[in-house]
């Protein structure tokens, strides 16, 4: 079953989108960095989930995304899927955005905490 494609943009940057989807690589992938052939291999590797922690389509997934400086950690359903990925060029500040491609998607219980 295709569960669609959606995501969360960090600091207003489409390049830093945390993907939420049903592809084999799993959710939590940082698409713009993983697929950028101009980035060093360690950056692309760091932006790729180390495991697939997605729940089945139709069930709620819970993300905890932490961005400090240019490093991002993604925890999905209690499992770390991306650990301190270095994202060169990530803006220091900016809005978050909720993204979808027209597929049915719901977001709930969104909390934002500014870290020192």
DSSP string, the chain: ----EEEEEETTEEEEEEEEE-STT-TT-BHHHHT-TTS-HHHHHHTS-SS--PPPTTS---EEEEEETTEEEEEETTEEEEEEEE-TT--SS---EEEESSS-------------
Residue 34 forms part of a structural domain: yes
pLDDT tens digit sequence for 74-103: 999 999 999 999 999 999 999 999 988 777
Number of domains into which the chain is organized: 1
Instruction: Establish if 74 belongs to a structural domain.
Output: yes
CATH classification at residue 87:
2.60.120.560
Q: Is the pLDDT of residue 14 over 60?
A: yes
Q: Considering the domain boundaries, does residue 52 fall inside one?
A: yes
pLDDT for the residue numbered 1: 45
Range of the domain at 21: 5-100
Asked if residue 107 is part of any domain, the answer here is no
Task: Say if 59 falls within a structural domain.
Answer: yes
pTM above 0.75, yes or no: yes
Q: What is the pLDDT of residues 48-67, one digit of tens each?
A: 999 999 998 888 999 999 99
Residue 3 has pLDDT above 90, yes or no: no
């Amino acid at each position: 079953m295709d569960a669609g494609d959606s995501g969360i943009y960090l600091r207003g940057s489409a390049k830093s989108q945390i993907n939420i989807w049903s592809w084999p690589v799993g959710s939590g992938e940082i698409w713009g960095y993983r697929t950028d052939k101009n980035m060093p291999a360690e950056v692309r590797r760091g932006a790729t989930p180390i495991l697939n922690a997605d729940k089945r389509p139709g069930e709620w997934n819970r993300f905890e995304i932490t961005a400090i400086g240019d490093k991002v950690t993604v925890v999905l359903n209690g499992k770390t899927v991306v650990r301190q990925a270095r994202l060169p060029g990530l803006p220091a500040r900016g809005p978050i955005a909720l993204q979808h491609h027209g597929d049915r998607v719901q977001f709930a219980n969104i909390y934002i905490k500014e870290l020192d």
